[in-house]
Structure 1
Amino acid sequence: MTDADGVVEVTLYERAGCHLCEAAAARLEALAVTLPMRLERVDIESDEDLHRRFLVEIPVVAVGGMVVTREPVDLEAVRAAVLAARG
């Protein structure tokens, strides 16, 4: 999803205590400095459906609601998806 300013929403599905999730978040935050994206971090423990769907796959990254990568997080896939979402 893109907002009025052309900023693309990137969602990181994670859970507390997940060191792979923390590493992915740091890499995505660094990427956000170079791209028009906003990172939203969602704890899968907050939603039973998300927990069931992603528990064994986290971290999972979605761009505009579509999953684009899982562990290991592919930043080039995220970059391409963000640029494609901008049209």
Structure 2
Amino acid sequence: MTAAEATPNPLIPAVYDVAWAVALAVGLALLAVALVHLARRKDTTPTETALWALVVLAAPLVGPAVYLLIGRRRQDAQP
């Protein structure tokens, strides 16, 4: 094996670069969906909305997931 064959092609991203890009895209999508859903809710007080927005923004990956899994249940439970 020659030295030219051993060096990776710099134009092809490494697997971890692709994984980070996908994680970033998923995180941004979750953040956007959670904030839009939160802004459109009519059944929460301004204080509740502010607290949920703080949770969503303070923890970029976990916050939106927690809001979408737990925070939406209150609205869905009401007739």
TM-score (structure 1 length as normaliser): 0.34
Q: Which structure features the higher share of strand residues?
A: 1
Q: Which has the higher contact order (CA 8 A, sep 6+)?
A: 1
In our comparison, the structure showing a higher alpha carbon Rg is 2
Name the one with the larger helix percent.
Answer: 2
Instruction: State TM-score, norm by structure 2.
Output: 0.36
